[in-house]
Chains A and B, each alone.
Chain A
């Protein structure tokens, strides 16, 4: 157990729908990162939050949004889903050091 918890593990939904993925960071970590992993693209950075505030954005679509709550858990919202959004979505948390970058076990999203 890495200490980073992601729910749900699997999600199947239809095109056009909206889903929410949840991440609880490792205890004490203030930074949360979201990544998308598809078969042909590898791991792509989406967005980072630090102590409730957005810190950096990567290749995140406008249909996607995220937030981090006062208890430091984070949610990634995906809307108007398309078939191409099917992927593994990972959350990672960090204590700011170069040793403390830890990934969760991911949410597998399938859009049908």
Chain B
């Protein structure tokens, strides 16, 4: 069964304290791995798509990496405005395009 597990469930950081979020996945034929940011009461906002092991993508203070079993979202010198829930999702090769989501990591960055 295709599934996505994110850890930790919640993470509290001080401003400037770098850390990483983990996304472990089991999927039959990975077509793509997605990272989204979600603010309370809002829709998920697209951050990255990764396709193959070894791939890395960066956007401002965020960097996403992918291996054959997991993905990491590295946050460098976070700011309070980075506080949000970060969602990981996979699209299986045999699917019609629907995504399988993890439950997310709620990040809080204190000034």
Interface residues of A (CB under 8 A from B): 2, 4, 31, 33, 41-45, 48, 50, 55-56, 58, 88, 90, 94, 96, 98-99, 101-106, 108
Contacts and interface: CB of A to CB of B under 8 A. Distances in A.
Contact of A99 (B49, B89, B104): B49
B64 to A, nearest CB: 14
11 contacts: A2-B45, A33-B99, A41-B103, A43-B89, A50-B96, A56-B98, A90-B43, A90-B44, A96-B97, A101-B97, A101-B99
Given A31-B97, A33-B97, A103 B43 contact: yes
Contacts of A105: 42-43
Interface in B36-73: 36, 41-46, 49, 51
B97 A94 contact: yes
Interface in B7-44: 31-32, 34, 36, 41-44
B86 interface: no
A48 B97 contact: yes
Instruction: Give chain B's interface residue range (CB within 8 Å of chain A).
Output: 20 to 34
A43 B101 contact: yes
Contact of A108 (B41, B44, B49, B97): B41
Interface string B97-111: 111111110000000
Contacts of B43: 2, 4, 90, 103-106
B87 interface: yes
Given A43-B89, A45-B98, A99-B49, 15 more contacts: A31-B97, A33-B99, A41-B103, A42-B87, A42-B104, A43-B44, A43-B101, A48-B96, A48-B97, A58-B98, A98-B49, A98-B91, A99-B46, A101-B46, A101-B99
